[in-house]
Structure 1
């Protein structure tokens, strides 16, 4: 894969986690000790960070480095869930450590089914 492809994939994954955790560029740049300009160049796909910075970002978001650098968007038809809307929703939940057990679920679950399980997990956690 070309360097350009790697930058684009990384930028897309980085934006995904920023949106998921509602984090700003400035907030993350400060937290990992890089300049706002450097961080922005990663978000826009202009530059690709060194592996130590990728590791810092993975730790920041509590994900694996692979979650930031691998292409998870191969094709709309690929993936575990058959409904694209459910797949997107499930992907957000997958990255929430408290909700990982959902991914033993059947591929034909609806969003309502997933919501039901999420609610159940949250209730069980409240009883701990």
Structure 2
């Protein structure tokens, strides 16, 4: 459940104050502390999820506060997610991929794999 305590913990993990998060998100000052009494709109919940790098479902899970810091099932995935979050170019790729068609995603994947093979000196499509 989305609570002020959950937001405070997420802010602490992100290294920002609640006031800074409100400002970054364009929310009114003090609006996040009212989460325990006022149900936020889906748009506001989506903005919070995007800002903190979690899913909307994270906030609807009744045990979400205990999941903070252990959102991912393994350390490799958590590290990869953190690297994406911290890298502007990688975030842009993932943001663009949200709206891409399956065909565009396949084309992009094929192009990236071809670049990877080229970088490694492979000449054919087998990767050998």
Larger Rg: 2
Structure-1-length-normalised TM-score: 0.49
